[in-house]
Amino acid sequence: MAMKVYKTHFFIYLVISLMAFSGLAAGQEAAADGPRDFFVKGNLSYKDGQYAQAIEHYDKIIQKGKVSGPLFYNIGNAYFKMGKIGKAILNYERAARFIPRDHDLRANHQFALSLTRTVNKEKGRSFFAVIKKGVVGHFTMNEIFIALYLMLLTAGLAHLCALYFCWPKKLFRNCLVVLGLFFLLFMYEMIGRVKALDHLSIVTVNAHARFEPREEATTHFALNEGEKVKVLREVEGWSKIQRADEKAGWIKSGKIERITQF
């Protein structure tokens, strides 16, 4: 009997050891060309002032299908140092999708924006928009989605508690009202972000928007690098875009880059 137990234990140890060893080996192999390796190489190039080389290293991580907030933040910094403010703002916007509450990111983003002459939509914003930005503006889309799920879960649990543990109706109703208000606010923000997700772009170089999608068309308005625009549609290398002040015009597609297309 004791022999049988000993054999079983030995077999388990063997399996665990083999799994751990193979995992470690695979991890070491992956680390050699992993995202962190390119990230460190990019950082070293940045510190040496080789900003273009740093961007090349960072881009390799993206090419592997991996992204992160600090990665886009560093790419934005490298572009900024190269004097490409539009590209820098584009990557700060991308970073904000992952780390919206990062102080360095917000400071750099604001500073880069201050160097451009973008149309300022902040003026005249409604009270609701200010409240919305204050409450949900600093969350990522995933955080908002999880918050919505947790609110639903809480509402369901509160309902069951009210039934099983005979909570006072008033308490349950108040809980539901508060949750409902937050739910609507988060849902409104979520819908807005999902709608704009694939349409928001950043102007990467100063350009002119024209009345028609051709080079000889009359200029409608000027677009400054770093300006956020909404892409309405695309026709043969031209994009119809809408500026923050709701003016719409045509611009060559190469002069803008979508925030969510890496």
Residues in touch with another protein (CB under 8 A):
35-36, 39, 43, 46, 48-49, 65-71, 73-74, 77-78, 80-81, 98-99, 104, 107-108, 111-112, 115, 141-142, 145-146, 149, 152-153, 156, 159-160, 163-164, 190, 194, 197, 216-219, 262
Which among 226, 262, 229 is positioned nearest to 244, based on CA atoms? 229
**Residue among 10 and 142 whose Cβ is closer to another protein:** 142
Shortest Å distance, C-beta 118 to another protein: 15
Integer Cα distance of 149 and 105 in angstroms:
28
- Tell the smallest beta-carbon distance from residue 191 to another protein (Å): 10
Shortest distance in whole angstroms from residue 27 CB to another protein: 14
Please report, as a single letter, which amino acid is at residue 166: C
Looking at beta carbons only, is 88 or 241 nearer to another protein?
A: 88
CB of 187 to another protein, least distance (A): 12
Residues with Cβ within 8 Å of 143's Cβ and at least 6 positions away in sequence, in order, are none
- Cβ nearer to another protein, comparing 92 with 228: 92
Q: Which residue type is seen at 142? A: N
CA quadruple 58, 59, 61, 63: dihedral, nearest 10: 180
Q: Which of 106, 84, 121 is nearest to 228 (CA)?
A: 121
